[in-house]
Amino acid sequence: MPRNGSATLSDLRERGLTTLDVTCPKCDRRGEYPVANLIARLGEDFILTAFLTDLTADCHRRIAGKFADQCGAQFLGLAGNHVT
């Protein structure tokens, strides 16, 4: 059941994903987050894009706020699945 078109942590679990991979090719950021841990910490209705925003809050590109050179953080392994 779509909720405003925004995927949540519970959607990952329903797809059978156990880890959420995040990468930012511009900042060399890379992280793997166990879905079960995220749900325990944030709740299953937590929206993925909000997680990404939280995660990259310290990204210097995001802080600089340059529209021409934005942070490129994205989820890996969700290609073809719109999570935004």
Interacting residues with Zn ion (CB under 5 A): 24, 27, 59, 61, 71, 73
Q: Cα 15–19–21 angle (5° rounding)? A: 110
If the CB atoms of residues 13 and 62 are measured against Zn ion, the closer one turns out to be 62
Q: What are phi and psi of 11, to 5 degrees?
A: -65, -35
Single-letter residue type at 42: L
Q: Residue number with the shortest CB distance to Zn ion?
A: 71
Task: Provide the minimum distance between the beta carbon of 72 and Zn ion in the complex, in angstroms, as a whole number.
Answer: 6
Place of tokens 């930012």: 24
Instruction: Pick between residue 17 and residue 59 the one whose CB is nearest to Zn ion.
Output: 59
- The least distance separating Zn ion from the CB of residue 58, rounded to whole angstroms, comes to 9
